[in-house]
A and B are shown apart, each in its own frame.
Chain A
Amino acid sequence: MNVPTEYFVALSAVLFGLGAVGVIVRRSAILVFLSIELMLNAANLAIVAYARQWSATGGIHALEGQGAVFIVLAVAAAEVAVGLGILVAIFRYRVTTDVDQLSEVRA
């Protein structure tokens, strides 16, 4: 069974859109985080989909796309570690993770 690349890309776009909307509408910092992860993985899905297409046509870029995904995964993992640490610190200090209330630095 050979799923066309367009399907993967469409799914990726939908996931990215869901993630973007989530970042904008959600007020809980945890859920904003989850939405960002969703966007990252939407991008990863698109990348592996293209990489699969390149390898099917015998192109030489197949492994490069997959390598990029691993870099994104690694960076995302690191970002989660740091981001969750910040969130814990904010929660201890503010007893909330509502991003709308984190607005001290406005002019």
Chain B
Amino acid sequence: MTETALSAANVVVLAPFVALLGAVVNGLFGRGIREPVTGLIASSTVAAGFVLTVVSFFAYPGGGDGVRFVLARFLRAGDLSVDLGFIVDQLSLVMALVITGVGLLIHVYSIGYMKGDAGHARYFSQLNLFVAAMLVLVLADSFPLMFVGWEGVGVCSFLLIGFWYQQRENADAARKAFIVNRIGDVGFLLAMFLTFQVFGSLDVKTVTQAAPAVAYGSAALVGIGLLFLLAAAGKSAQLPLQLWLPDAMAGPTPVSALIHAATMVTAGVYLIARTGPVFAQAPAAAATVAWIGVLTALVAAIAAFAQTDIKRILAYSTISQVGFMIAAVGAGAYWAGIFHVVTHAFFKAQLFLGAGSVIHALGGEQDVRRMGGLGKRMRVTGTTALIATLAIAGVPLLSGFFSKDAILHGTLTSPLLQDATGQLLFALLLVTAVLTAAYMFRWYYLVFAGEERLTAEAKAGVHESPAVMTVPLVVLAVGSVLAGYLGIQAFLGRNLIAEWLAPVTASPDFEHLSVGAEWALIVASALAALGGLAAGYWLYAVDKGRTVKRLDATPLAPLARSGMGFDAAAQAVLVRPGEGVAQGLAVLDRDVLDQGLVAAGGGVGLLGKVATLWQTGYVRLYALAMLAGAVVIAAVALLAGGLR
């Protein structure tokens, strides 16, 4: 079982260390390195990681056991045995390809975006550290090591969201992200405890291979599943822990692309796909996962309509899309969830980087109400953003269409959901797909099309971004088109990604639909996308926002603007009572403990004052006292029986 030899198939385990090396070089010596060099160092380490991943990908022998690499013994205590080991298998390879591939493009883009920022070395160091942590997360062969990567990702997102920490709100956003993530982390820890109790092991492969033997639907498995769901909800910004993601847009835009679109938020999807066999044995937990995913997708899609910040719209869109993925893995369609991770990584990274390109061109403007018509002035950014918008909307033949269709298909035919539940979730997801297309159309239209509403000073400075930023945009746009062909429904051709992932993910028995029903599904999801786009076109381009203005007057609008009131609820349920307890403790501290200590000090001081009364300064008095003392001692000694 234990494999320590390094071969082509597991050479990818070096990738996190290469990225770590880049982080160390930039972090410790970055002060002395000039600007483009820091970015080149960071990009080249990620590029090296990508090459290593590709080598492993092609050298991978197949099969479900994976190739192990044990670096060192880590924990040995009683029955517990945890090594510092990595596992390379189909799932971790797909994730590593996304992380290093999309990560590389974002690193390159950052060279242009962060040009002239005094903190460039710190930025690239943290970006590399993030990639390293994410790779550890997906390559770890045990839950404790996965948790190391999990926490590392949390720390790096804290550092990068608060990158411009001199502004208070950025630092607040970073803290919020970190604290909300901690709640999920507690779920991960508790899930590990329960896993060890049930399986007697924390090794990922051991657990997933032993899971089918545990009683179907047993309470322990449901417990593990729900706790892993809590962990996933924290990292993947699912209800009710989605609060941190919209605020996390405070970081530099490439960070939003890397962390909050392409990689970090997919950690929860990865976790559930990884522990899929546990969920496949615990349908109650799986159904909860699916419900959380669907509700998140719907709620975030509604909230996205009311946002006016170019990045916040995308943030809610991310929450919504990750909701799709979570719904897929909840329904047991693990390959569909991971497939959507891959396609989403392309088009969401493109959208964020495109937004960054716009913000860059407008000198920091982020309000879509002061944009518009930029497609003509920024040809590359506008065109690639259009492709990504159509892809995320699910327009047929683009990547988002295939992955979203796979998810819809999965929820409808899932064996883990009751028939009625599956149909209800399917319907909700279809509605969300319509909404997705509509709000993404709104985003594109307000930024790139329609009339120009730029401020005069922004108008003077508009320019297309340099090649170092536009080339990644083009590559990502191409990926947004092509990535979908990895997962064509099986009845139309080869479903490459499902075949590739089949050995390592649990594959519950999905209902088989007739070819006619399959086509009906495809038509439904195509109609959802086109219908959503048409609705968006009518609302924002034809109707010129008149209906929207009427909607703005309804109570729904402020609710949607504030992210459906979850922040206010958290404020009322968690923050206020917390503040109350803190204030109570402050009173206790100030009025009881502190006062007591002050009084005690005063009492001792008073004793001292009394004692100093003897210190008159008259030597003769001291002499008398000494004499009296000597007499007393002598008298006592005599009375007590002499000085023998």
Contacts and interface: CB of A to CB of B under 8 A. Distances in A.
B607 interface: no
A91 to B, nearest CB: 16
Contacts of B624: 24
A24 B618 contact: no
Interface stretch (A4-12, A45-53, A62-70, A95-103): A95-103
A106 B623 CA distance: 15
B627 A24 contact: yes
B617 A106 contact: yes
A37 to B, nearest CB: 14
B616 interface: yes
A32 B618 CA distance: 13
Contacts of B620: 23-25, 27, 32, 99-100
Interface string B603-625: 00000000011011111100110
Contacts of A30: none
A31 to B, nearest CB: 12
Contacts of B623: 23-24
Interface string A12-51: 0000000010011101000010000000000000000000
Nearest to B624: A24
Interface residues of B, number: 11
Nearest to B611: A107
Contact of B619 (A25, A102, A107): A102
B616 A99 contact: no
A11 to B, nearest CB: 19
A105 interface: yes
Contacts of A105: 615, 617
Nearest to A105: B617
A45 B618 CA distance: 30
B382 to A, nearest CB: 85
B463 to A, nearest CB: 80
B630 to A, nearest CB: 9
A25 B613 CA distance: 21
A64 B62 CA distance: 103
B619 A99 contact: yes
B454 to A, nearest CB: 79
Contacts of A32: 619-620
Q: Chain B: interface secondary structure?
A: helix
B612 to A, nearest CB: 4
A106 B615 contact: yes
A39 B623 CA distance: 13
Interface string B188-223: 000000000000000000000000000000000000
Contacts of A104: 617
B628 to A, nearest CB: 10
A103 B612 contact: no
Contacts of A99: 618-620
Contacts of A100: 618-620
A73 B576 CA distance: 83
Contacts of A20: 627
Contacts of B616: 103, 106
Interface string A76-107: 00000000000000000000000110111111
A58 B612 CA distance: 53
A20 B624 CA distance: 9
A36 to B, nearest CB: 9
A78 B266 CA distance: 90
A107 B612 contact: yes
A106 B613 CA distance: 9
A25 to B, nearest CB: 7
B109 to A, nearest CB: 75
A51 B617 CA distance: 40
A103 B627 contact: no
Nearest to B630: A20
Contacts of B627: 20, 23-24
Nearest to B620: A24
Contacts of B617: 102-106
A20 B620 CA distance: 10
A25 B624 CA distance: 10
Given A23-B623, A24-B624, A107 B615 contact: yes
A107 B616 CA distance: 7
Nearest to B616: A106
A100 B623 CA distance: 12
Contacts of A25: 620
B610 to A, nearest CB: 11
Contacts of A23: 620, 623, 627
Interface in B439-490: none
B256 to A, nearest CB: 68
B163 to A, nearest CB: 59
Nearest to B631: A20
Contacts of A102: 617, 619
Nearest to B609: A107
Given A32-B619, A103-B617, A105-B617, 18 more contacts: A20-B627, A23-B620, A23-B623, A23-B627, A24-B627, A25-B620, A100-B618, A100-B619, A100-B620, A102-B617, A103-B616, A104-B617, A105-B615, A106-B615, A106-B618, A107-B612, A107-B613, A107-B615
26 contacts: A20-B627, A23-B620, A23-B623, A23-B627, A24-B623, A24-B624, A25-B620, A27-B620, A32-B619, A32-B620, A99-B618, A99-B620, A100-B618, A100-B619, A102-B617, A102-B619, A103-B616, A103-B618, A104-B617, A105-B615, A105-B617, A106-B616, A106-B617, A106-B618, A107-B612, A107-B613
Interface of B: 612-613, 615-620, 623-624, 627
4 closest A-B pairs (Cβ-Cβ)? A103-B617, A106-B617, A107-B612, A107-B615
